[in-house]
Amino acid sequence: MTFQSTVRPAPSAVPADAPTYEERPWGAFWSLDRGAAHQVKRIRVKPRGQLSLQYHYHRAECWVVIEGTATITVDDAVMKVKLGGVVMIPKGAVHRLENRTKSHVEIIEVQMGDYLGEDDIVRLEDVYDRPATEVRG
């Protein structure tokens, strides 16, 4: 007997010319999928690297650790999150991802909101001296 599904996956909204990989001072990310109200990235943080302490006006995020042990700050809570750990970051919450180890840390980040542009990053602290808001041309 052959099984055929009538359910088809929704096509990805990622444009063909969209960057799928970008390097940052702390490591790199891959854009995996993008739709009207979501975006999925794979983020790799170098040993001793950290993202800026930041928040977003328009999106919430869900982080799943897929490699290593991440140090994650959400508002006043700082936690070590191991493989398989999941952290929800509400819209407007101050947050940071750090790698305090000697090995890479990787997460899957799912962004959800009405606007997902890179210019919706408000930096409160950044060890790489990047601007307070991310503006792309």
- What domains are there in the chain, each with its CATH number? 29-125 (2.60.120.10)
| pLDDT at residue number 15 | 55
Q: Give the residue carrying structure tokens 């947050």.
A: 95
| pLDDT at residue number 19 | 61
This prediction has a pTM of 0.83
How far is residue 63's CA from residue 97's CA, in Å, rounded to a whole number? Answer: 10
Q: What residues contact 100, with CB distance under 8 A and at least 6 apart? A: 48, 71
| pLDDT at residue number 130 | 87
| pLDDT at residue number 134 | 62
| pLDDT at residue number 133 | 74
Q: Which of 65, 66, 64, 70 is nearest to 46 (CA)?
A: 70
Q: Give the residue carrying structure tokens 């606007």.
A: 115
Do the Cβ atoms of 72 and 87 come closer than 8 Å? Answer: yes
Regions of the chain with pLDDT less than 70? 1-19, 134-137
How far is residue 108's CA from residue 87's CA, in Å, rounded to a whole number? Answer: 11
| pLDDT at residue number 118 | 86
**Edge-to-edge strand list for the sheet holding 53-55:** 77-81, 70-74, 95-98, 53-55, 122-125
Handedness of CA 108, 26, 59, 13 (dihedral sign): negative
